[in-house]
Chains A and B, each alone.
Chain A
Amino acid sequence: MKRTVPMLITAAVGFTLIGAYFVPYTQNWGESVAIWFDVLAAIAFILGGGNLLRTHLKRISDQGRGWGYSAIVLVAFVATLFVGLGKIGVAPSPQFPDHAWSGQYRQTGSAFWFMYQYAFSPLTSTIFALLAFYIASAAFRAFRAKNLEAKLLLGTAFIILLGRTFAGVALTDWIDPANWDGFRYFTGLRLENLTVYIMAVFNTAGNRAIMIGIALGIVATSLKILIGVDRSYLGKD
């Protein structure tokens, strides 16, 4: 019973939504379900917050490895939540001047805005910018022309790296029909054109093949779940 009822709900909802996609009269059912999903997604934020608190509080209480980082996470989480929900430093909205909390939580000059502007934004940008350093280091350490596939990858990487900058134009702008009429057959070999060709032909063909494969896999997996062959999503109990 514990497994049969959820399985029946899954099957009923799944098949109804598949039907709703094809039957015009029932198309708004899909819309209603999407709104339920929005409600669930909003509630999931609360669950996520609860889970974050539980995990990090446990690590702090156990004095586990890196518990200091957990403390920082918790302090940052609680402080952000407090200034956001409490609308600290937010002036009332001009439309509702008598209601203290009517302003936007991220109003310019508010505590939340300050945290976003001077902590969150520079920190996330910094972390992302570090990628450039690690990519350079990884390129030096790992990118070796060991076999044919690696050589092809290396050649493509050079074309794309050069073709996505002015270097591509500067290196091959001599392939110009103005220099020699015969070059009109070879303009495709200019690095910037080769880059577009690689992206539009090889990349697109490869990606389409992968996408079609994934889509077929999703159909097969979904059907297995809907008809009850795959029950792993219900857990072991």
Chain B
Amino acid sequence: MGEFILDQWWLALIFIGTLVPLVRQFASAGIMPALRTLDRRWIFLLMFWSVLLPIYFIGVTGKTFPEVPSALAEATFAEIDRLNPGDPVLLSFDYDPASEGELQPMATAFVRHCAEKKLKMYFMSLWPVGPQMLQNTVDKVITADFPSLVYGQDYVNLGYKSGYEAVIKVITTNIRELYTTDARGTAIQDIPMMRDITSVQQMKLIINVSAGYAGVKEWVLYAATPYPSLRLVAGTTGVQAPLVYPYVPRQLRGLLGAIKGAAEYEKLVMDAYGGPAPDPKYLEGLRRMGPQLVAHLLIIVLILVANVLYFADKREARQ
């Protein structure tokens, strides 16, 4: 750390320079009065630095925090790892660029894991901008690192269909009712890997990356619950994870919650398939745990400071 600060002295200088007016304010007005009238832009600045500095540090040094996979991450990993080459899996990417920062690492790790296992991947989305998320992931993982996988034989992009849960309801019994072509406009019957697929019930696993409605809850309600043989694992945003915990483990076999879940799952995938020097694009979750740590610590400090102020004011008022 000391070496990093010495090397990046200019950054340390800018960091200190931006906080000098705040320190002067504390020195002139006193700590407690300055905190009482603290402009919220100082908080914004602190949050800015608490996110930027770890990103820069991890970017320069490549160091990440060690991660211990939780039982849920291990269950998610095991669900995919137990499958045999050629088994069909449905990957539904139900998120948009707003939650890309939180969900893209797990989407990348899911596709990498499926590609390593040589599973047949059927991509789809219930969100209008999902196809872009899906295409970016395919380009990043399959096109770049698994060029031997053939479109139409090893993976297919079914694209987006409007209707939210109604789409799930239909494709669980008859996929061809809704999907007559893939996203490229090729007729379903002309796609080799679609020939034997008539419904989602034939999938060995459904993998859902979800940012809200329609997403994991709908997959649980309209696919995993009425058809208990369908197995479902999901990666969700931090906000959504507590809402789907009640479905674990019977309706939802594995759950990755936010960046923490992504980092745990990434570790499992990279330990198993990453080799000695994995590409940083497969370590995005682990890398993003750094800014998350500092930002969380900042929030805790802010809450503590605010409560110290609150109790001090209360005591003063009583006296």
Contacts and interface: CB of A to CB of B under 8 A. Distances in A.
Give the size range of A's interface with the partner: 35 or more
Nearest to A120: B97
Given A28-B173, A31-B169, A38-B166, A167 B303 contact: no
Nearest to B299: A139
Interface in A121-160: 121-122, 124-125, 127-129, 132-133, 135-137, 139-141, 143-146, 154, 157-158
Contacts of A37: 163, 166
B185 A102 contact: yes
A121 B43 CA distance: 26
Contacts of A34: 163, 166-167, 169-170
B302 A106 contact: no
B242 A95 contact: no
B185 A136 contact: no
B71 interface: yes
B217 to A, nearest CB: 10
A100 interface: no
Given A132-B295, A136-B47, A166-B66, A145 B245 contact: no
A48 to B, nearest CB: 11
A161 B299 contact: yes
B260 A128 contact: no
B132 A144 contact: no
> Helix, strand, loop or mixed for chain B's interface?
helix
A204 interface: yes
A143 B308 CA distance: 11
B43 A38 contact: no
B253 interface: no
A165 B292 contact: yes
Interface string A60-89: 000000000000000000000000000000
Nearest to A165: B293
A143 B306 contact: yes
Given A106-B132, A167-B297, A196-B71, A31 B177 contact: yes
A208 B296 contact: no
A133 B44 CA distance: 5
Contacts of B305: 140
A125 B289 CA distance: 18
B260 A132 contact: no
A31 B43 contact: no
Interface residues of B, number: 65
Interface string B52-91: 0000000000000111101100000000000000000000
A31 B173 contact: yes
Interface stretch (B98-106, B228-236, B268-276): B98-106
Nearest to A125: B97
B198 to A, nearest CB: 13
A129 B291 CA distance: 13
B299 A164 contact: no
B140 interface: no
From A104, A139, A143, residue with most partner B Cβ within 10 Å: A139
A113 B108 CA distance: 21
B25 interface: no
B161 interface: yes
B243 interface: yes
B299 A120 contact: no
Among B131, B173, B296, the most chain A Cβ lie within 10 Å of the Cβ of: B296
Nearest to A173: B68
Interface string A25-43: 0011011001101100110
B46 interface: yes
B307 A145 contact: yes
Contacts of B170: 31, 34-35, 38
B197 interface: no
B312 interface: no
24 contacts: A28-B173, A30-B169, A38-B166, A93-B184, A125-B98, A128-B98, A129-B101, A132-B51, A133-B43, A133-B44, A136-B295, A136-B298, A137-B40, A137-B44, A139-B306, A143-B307, A154-B303, A161-B296, A161-B300, A162-B296, A164-B260, A199-B241, A199-B257, A204-B245
Given A124-B97, A139-B306, A192-B68, 16 more contacts: A34-B169, A35-B177, A41-B164, A41-B166, A45-B162, A140-B306, A145-B310, A154-B307, A161-B300, A166-B67, A166-B289, A167-B297, A192-B70, A199-B242, A203-B245, A204-B245
